[in-house]
Chain A
Amino acid sequence: MSFKHYVLVCGGTGCESAKADDIFKNLIHEAENAGIREEVQILKTGCFGFCEQGPIVKVLPDESFYVQVKPDDAREIVAEHLVKGREVPRLLYDKSLSMSRTGLEDIEFYQKQFRIVLRNCGFINPDDINEYIARDGYAALEKVLFEMKPDDVLEELKKSKLRGRGGAGFPTWMKWKFTKDVEDDEKYIACNADEGDPGAYMDRSTLEGDPHSILEAMAIAGRTVGAGKGYIYIRAEYPLAIKRLKTAMQQARDLNLLGDNILGSGFNFDIEIRLGAGAFVCGEETALIASLEGERGMPRVRPPFPAVQGIWGKPTVINNVETWANIPVIITKGGDWFSKIGTEGSTGTKVFALTGKINNSGLVEVPMGTTLREIIFDIGGGIKDGKKFKAAQTGGPSGGVLKDDFLDTPIDYDNLIKLGSMMGSGGLIVMDEDDCMVDVAKFYLGFCVDESCGKCAPCRVGGKTMYDILDKITKGQGEMEDLEKLETIGAAMKRASLCGLGQTAPNPTLSTIKYFLDEYQAHIEDKKCPAGKCKQLMRFEIDPEKCIGCGLCARRCPVNCISGEKRAPHEIDQSQCIKCGECFTVCKFDAVLKV
């Protein structure tokens, strides 16, 4: 069946929360009213990645890229575009592009991207297994079941040089081999979908947009290492991803792509979903396994590694969502093909969730080795409101802060480690001149202190102690010796903590001390916060020359600490001021100063 138009509505969580579902329903309703329902296919896809401009609706074959669509716009899209063949210019992302253009490659946001993991996101309907199959879905599983031996699969993975995308970057083929080499009649496969970094949503989008790629990959691993059961550990805060996974699993079972005797090969494999309660530490593999078994989510000493002793004490291959999503492509296209993408030591692509003070927030997938500058300025469209770039934070609370000197460093596992950060799962938060680095360090450390499970002392005590010191500095009570203390405790935490959470928690603090020492010094010695973020270190004053005595600030002040005669300069009572900044925001004459 051919359709005159294909209307793709973004069904990612971001666009859904901006009423994409209403848009979808309205489009169907309007198409019915116009009598063209049979001629057009209207469907929901996974995330397009360009979340800043959502909700997104794409119309094919014209490749019209409509952005910030509202439910009421459905009528115009149907009446003008679908019936009369005229685009709705006011909704186009780039109004200068008309129907003559070639497509997404004209939009800068997409130009430098290369999609492997997100290959189907924004094109197929994730709730329809047929569309996944049409995109060579389950062809890799087919190959593994009928043409390849388990060792061939390992060989392809080895050639691909794929490294785990969860953060640490361990070679995937080795993990699999460890499990394969253990003699045991019971083994398990696990998918780590416990994505917890603030601002990161790569894994959620992959699961929402292309759930079958994960199922297929897990079955491939099951066949390779000799496991018959897989678990997907996903946080309960991802209801849409869970729903799509469940649908996908059922459809795969119906077609005998999961279950007993898959495609008549004699191989049995099924998958179960386990919901997590959202503790950050459960992203650590041993804690995840404990939680999955119904225990309290706490890490344990490794070795033994899960590859040898994992779920229910049995050998377990555990990989992150993004790692899994790469597997079917590596099998169908070959490890050699994959290893040519990216850099020597870090092959393939990486998905980043680009957020913070950036114009084009969204989900981007780039080859490894792309520079920060390309991601932030070319794809991301630069810093919001024309402000100056100050730093980028990679790897979430476990990563470090990179300053502008490193904008041209190719991003890969090894370079990031060298710079004191890490790849992490792929959160990329951009900061501008208004962000205070001490405050940022305190925020991330505070997150880790909250999320620490408390099992080991270096993390439990060290984190809290470092946090208290940072808190002291932001209040202007810091001393220069505090910096040494931070470095000493941080180094101890890195060496002595039980799991990755504690080992990496000091990274944001240590990297900001390294690259933004002057800001720490300003807080400690001059008792000033250069970015004007730390409230205790700044005050608001009224310039008597500029104040006309309108009284607006006095009326707005929540603690009534501004006083003055009508039409005469006002004054702020510093002893009462809570530094909320309301007076600064409301003054129309720029008479309130931040000093």
Chain B
Amino acid sequence: MTLEELRALREQKKKELDRRDVSGKSIQIVVGGGTCGIAAGARKTHAAFLDELEENNLTDVVVKQTGCLGLCHAEPTVEVMMPGMPTVIYGNVDDAVARKIVHKHIMAHELVNDHIYDRPAVDIIEKGGK
């Protein structure tokens, strides 16, 4: 291996390993993965987020899965938290909508209006959060 090849390998592997590392990442996407969510396709939604983030080289984002968010009529549901944007719960997020959220909400800082279902109740928002 040459020096250049080592450097290229490091860059590539760094990207892969960065996805495992969660420390210091500021944006969080939480996919509701209750039975209702999974039945409505939450696993595909989750995969779409990962794929789209990778595609666009967005490294500052963590995608987590959680249980039911309580909006079972609008599954799959997704909560997006990022600095400078209100925390929003999107509903009916399929593969295409997930990709749209990445492009609009995360990259362009615009809300995806027709999929906003809720904002978290005031009492569960931490102090200082939005």
Contacts and interface: CB of A to CB of B under 8 A. Distances in A.
B66 A99 contact: yes
A159 B22 CA distance: 33
Interface string B31-54: 111110010000100110011011
Interface stretch (A55-63, A311-319, A355-363): A55-63
Most A CB contacts (10 A, CB to CB) among B38, B46, B65 go to B65
Interface of B: 1-3, 6-7, 9-10, 13-14, 16-23, 31-35, 38, 43, 46-47, 50-51, 53-54, 62-67
A-B residue pairs, 9 tightest by C-beta: A85-B65, A134-B13, A85-B33, A2-B50, A134-B17, A256-B1, A61-B22, A134-B14, A61-B62
Contacts of B32: 85
Given A61-B62, A263-B3, A2 B53 contact: yes
Contacts, number: 92
A238 interface: no
Nearest to A80: B67
Nearest to A62: B64
Contacts of B2: 263-264
Interface stretch (A136-144, A271-279, A465-473, A497-505): A136-144
A263 B50 contact: no
A41 interface: yes
A63 B22 contact: yes
A103 interface: yes
Given A61-B62, A85-B33, A264-B2, A4 B16 contact: no
Given A2-B54, A134-B13, A146-B3, A85 B66 contact: yes
Contact of B6 (A1, A63, A123, A263): A263
A592 B84 CA distance: 70
Contact of B3 (A5, A133, A142): A142
Interface string A126-169: 00001101111111001000100000000000000000000000
* Chain B contact surface mostly: helix
A39 interface: yes
B71 to A, nearest CB: 15
B6 to A, nearest CB: 6
A90 interface: no
B115 to A, nearest CB: 20
Given A39-B43, A62-B64, 14 more contacts: A4-B47, A4-B50, A5-B65, A39-B47, A60-B21, A85-B31, A124-B17, A133-B9, A134-B17, A137-B10, A138-B6, A256-B1, A263-B3, A264-B3
Contacts of A63: 22
A146 B4 CA distance: 12
A3 B62 CA distance: 11
Contact of A134 (B10, B35, B53, B62): B10
Contacts of B17: 124, 131, 134-135
A123 B64 contact: no
A78 interface: no
A257 B7 CA distance: 13
B9 A130 contact: yes
Given A2-B19, A103-B23, A263 B1 contact: yes
A255 interface: yes
Contact of A133 (B6, B20, B43): B6
A305 interface: no
A259 B31 CA distance: 48
A265 B20 CA distance: 33
A302 interface: no
A514 interface: no
Contacts of B67: 84-86
A146 B3 CA distance: 9
Given A4-B46, A6-B20, A84-B34, A61 B10 contact: no
A490 to B, nearest CB: 49
Nearest to B17: A134
